[in-house]
Amino acid sequence: MADFEVPELKEYPVIPHLKEGVMAHSKPFIAKEQFQEQLGFPGELVDDWEQIAIDKMGELKGKYRSLQVFLDSCVKCGACTDKCHYYLGTTDPKNMPVARQDLFRQVYRRYYTLAGKYFPKLVGAKDMTREVLDDWYSYFHQCSQCRRCSVYCPYGIDTAEISMAAREVMDAVGVGQKYCNEIIGKVFKIGNNLGLPEPALADTLEGLEEEVYEDTGVKVLFPLDVKGADILLVTPSADFFAEPHVDGLIGYGKVFHEAGASWTISSHASEAANFGMFIGSYENMRNVSLRIREAALDLGVKRIVFGECGHAWRVAYSFLNTLAGPFDFLDPDYPIPQHICEYTYDLIQKGKLKLDKSENDHMVLTFHDSCNVARASRMGDKPGGQFEIPRAIIKAACNNFHDMPDWGIKEGTYCCGGGGGLLTDDLMEIRVKGALPRMEGLKQVVEEYGVTHMAAICAICKSQFAKVLPYYGFTMDQIVSVHQLVSQAIVLTPGEDEGETNDEPAAGSEDAAES
């Protein structure tokens, strides 16, 4: 199945001994000229790139306090060394957070600190050379920016910030990553990561309406570009066609239906994901975010709700107001923006959703806390709401739920292995190896409680697991969407001319008879 060795699953993550350089060969494809230039980056490695890189580094440390403080503060205590899923899965020491940061820090030291200028060997400072750049390209693309290390660092040093800065420096000298940069270009041109144009989107949504009607006998709408709707749903474009994502989207539609909400999707902002964050580019992240603002204004909505996507929710929750606000034209009675889980949870709390848990009795569930939701965002009004709310929804929709062991959930959750712009086939080895700790957690509850499925609220997690689970002896359909569970359990209220008046429910439907 693979031209690399898949790591063996243990009872729990075991700290491996170092094997230097074993992942140095892992590199994503380099972005071509046309894709670099549409984001405002040089097309290929520029002349005098060393100086440009050093200057860019100086610019960034002047713009980001995080970077300046994190570069100075590390004491090399080693607390983070065993915290990265990529280190645990690959054994390559440069995947230890502090060592990854040091690839950047060694250059910072050399050009921006007295000690590094005069005593480079003493403090481990290095010139900006081709060798260093190659190391950056390999190892800063083996970081999913999941921030697990930042939880455990006594100074809160966040490798994600350093890896974002390194990627921005690389883009500035003309060495960008294909997957991220092409995708951002598609968002600018077409509106979403997948490049689905408006007619295809309309067609897909219409197909969903038919599918749900056939299944349930109830007309659940999936509206597109409806001016004057109350709610704008912004969801990862994977939700429009991939499995199991689309089952989640059907779930959102059913929830809106039950709430009697007037809602719409926008073809202009048909993407929740924001890969601008992965490449560390404030400007690109801002430009992607502004499309959501434009769509909200254009359609005249009162609220914005985000679908299931981890880093999209980070950008939405933490950055959207900063990048594209103020959102004073929206209804201040609701959180701006709101997560679909907050929306659904609120309805459950108010008793407005009827959920038949037994519909999910064929599954025993566990929940994967997606890294960006867990460590970089919040839901509800209390710290940790992002852990409680999705679990509360799962428990409201299912009878069988068991958490994975404490070492790998909530703020200590392990990344799926595909975040941070790594969800590309050219990085399959690092993706499989990086999934190791999560797989070990899953294995434990599979053996102990007979867990059959893992639910997640992130499009990247879902895509990554669908691909990676088989490497570890699981099946790709063992990953499900949280709103897929809601979708299966929800008891729909038929419209006046549907459901009970339908003597003959749509062919092939079991659920319809009950509705």
Contacts to another protein from residues 43-102, by CB under 8 A: 61-66, 68-70, 72-83, 93, 96, 98-99, 102
Q: How far is the CB of 466 from another protein (least distance, A)?
A: 27
124 binds another protein (CB under 8 A): yes
Report the candidate in 371, 352, 440, 364 with the shortest Cα–Cα distance to residue 398: 364
362 contributes a contact to another protein by CB under 8 A: no
Q: Is 406 in the site for another protein (CB under 8 A)?
A: no
What angle in degrees, to the nearest 10, is found between the helix axes of 159-173 and 97-112? 60
317 or 471: whose CB is closer to another protein?
A: 317
Strands (E), 329-426: 338-339, 365-367
Taking CB under 8 A as the criterion, the residue among 335, 434, 437, 499 binding another protein is 335
End-to-end CA distance of the chain: 44
Nearer to another protein, 155 or 213 (CB): 155
Residue 40 CB, nearest distance to another protein (Å)?
A: 13
Are residues 476 and 183 in contact, defined by beta-carbon separation less than 8 angstroms? no
Q: How far is 484 from 394, CA to CA, in rounded Å?
A: 10
**Region binding another protein by CB under 8 A among candidate stretches 153-161, 214-222, 440-448, 475-483:** 153-161
Between residues 321 and 509, which has the closer beta carbon with respect to another protein? 321
- Using the contact rule CB under 8 A, the part of the chain among 157-165, 213-221, 351-359, 501-509 near another protein is 157-165
CB of 347 to another protein, least distance (A): 20
Joined together, the tokens standing for residue 32 give 């071509």
DSSP state of 30: B
Structure tokens at 231: 């709610």
283 binds another protein (CB under 8 A): yes
What the block records as the tokens of 512 is: 């319809």
Q: What angle do CA 497, 503, 505 make, to 5 degrees?
A: 90
Nearer to another protein, 19 or 189 (CB): 19
Q: Are 276 and 286 in contact (CB under 8 A)?
A: yes
In angstroms, give the least distance from the CB of 154 to another protein. 4
Contact status: 342 vs another protein (CB under 8 A):
no
Determine contact, residues 307/239, Cβ cutoff 8 Å: yes
What does the alpha-carbon distance between residue 264 and residue 304 come to, in Å, rounded to a whole number? Answer: 10
Binding window for another protein (CB under 8 A); candidates: 127-135, 263-271, 282-290, 470-478: 282-290
Q: Cα–Cα distance between 63 and 310 in angstroms, integer?
A: 26
- Least Å distance between CB 348 and another protein? 21
150 part of the interface to another protein, by CB under 8 A: yes
